[in-house]
Structure 1
């Protein structure tokens, strides 16, 4: 109920802005099929399967046209909807709250060993002991919550020429076939709190195309990678920050 009311409130604000002269015409989105009914209750039209390919589940397109008679009729004034009192103010406070400080991997005396703890239900599996953050000092966005990523030592992956980032914030990675430490996230990108993906890129002539992972707020990356259409997502331990 809260999700639907928030969505309707967002639409009503777009409608109000459109009437004041903003060039808003429609709202477009892609969604998994299990959320179709939620968006249809908010007046979105089901358009069919999207050309976007990412993860194991298909994506579908939906649309909400602004300014139609149906839109204006079905949207009541915002005061009449049951949005919990103070919710918008709380969301605004959360967005302006100070970001946590990201500690780099080099700040830990035992390196990656200081960042892991045993998985309570999977013997031999180590998981991230802290939230993973964007390493940019003025961002600090939470990328992954504690206990979601699995610590894995595996072959390095060439994400840029020579594995050297153009941004000094991001550590250089060893050149394949040397190994380094990664956080494995599976089975879908919904496990992330915040992540962005590049278009598929061909890193070499024989391997699969990769999507490079970056902070969805400030675009810092690449922080990691995934194979196109795959269900495994890899973050380099040395390229994320830690909320210790």
Structure 2
């Protein structure tokens, strides 16, 4: 079966190695991965800023590019949430687009949800040195119910999780929120960084690159050069053989 991989802007521009790890995992589960080369933004920044026309144009573009696939996999809770939840709002005044979106919606999965509930992947126990602590991103958790899935996958590869206090609390990024309300965002991420340090883990793992860049950036600016901040795909794929 063919999986359309929606890479996301941040992975494409900032951490392409995460995208390669995602491809490795999906192919190891027995699926063909296709990355539409013309894909761009899902429209979330425009939507959050009240630019509905721009968000609608981007949503229609994504719909045209991905409706051909058996599944659409997104390695980001925020982008997956935008597509699966908020496109319904953007298309509500157009019955034809709503019909097409309805067919796409049931095929859209956040990466860990896809690996656990669709691919039912069985990963080898790996060589990753733990423990890690896990940050639950807001959109993945609250819009898509992503909570148990990443932890189940980490357990498969033998990674111990040291749960931090407030693992479900926001990291302060929130897309354009961090730009509009910098002081509040900084206070929130400072609390998150303190909880990471208090967990005793040397690595924080998560499933959304926006959160990853925000947390890593604040740790580094605060003088912490040792705590690793990794996307879950990087941890899961490191001992998976190339297909």
Interval of TM-score (by shorter of Structure 1 and Structure 2): under 0.3
Q: Which has the higher helix share?
A: 2
Q: Which has the higher strand share?
A: 1
Larger radius of gyration: 1
